[in-house]
Amino acid sequence: MAKKCEICEKGVKTGFKISHSHIRTKRKWTPNLQPVKADIHGSIRRISVCTRCLKSGKVKRAL
């Protein structure tokens, strides 16, 4: 499963963690993805959706 929201395409961001002595080490920021059953064009599928899309109502959840 890819670390990407299937609604808004939000994915992994990379950058540096900077310590107090300014030593830089690489790190990743991953989105908060939740597996949900959603109604996509009349069929029920299990997709990975970020919590922002769930909260805003962009996903119609299946019962």
Tally the domains of the chain.
Answer: 1
How large is the C-alpha radius of gyration of the chain?
Answer: 16
The label of the residue with tokens 């959603």 reads 38
22-60 burial, b if ≥16 CB within 10 A, otherwise e?
eeeeeeeeebebeebebeeeeeeeebbbbeebbeeeebe
Is-contact 45 60, C-beta < 8 A?
A: no
Q: Mean pLDDT for the chain?
A: 95
CATH of the domain at 18: 2.30.170.40
Residue 45's pLDDT is: 94
pTM for the full predicted model: 0.79
Residue 54's pLDDT is: 95
Residue 2's pLDDT is: 82
Question: Quick check: 33 pLDDT over 90?
Answer: yes
Question: Quick check: 1 pLDDT over 90?
Answer: no
Residue 4's pLDDT is: 96
**Domain range for 41:** 1-63
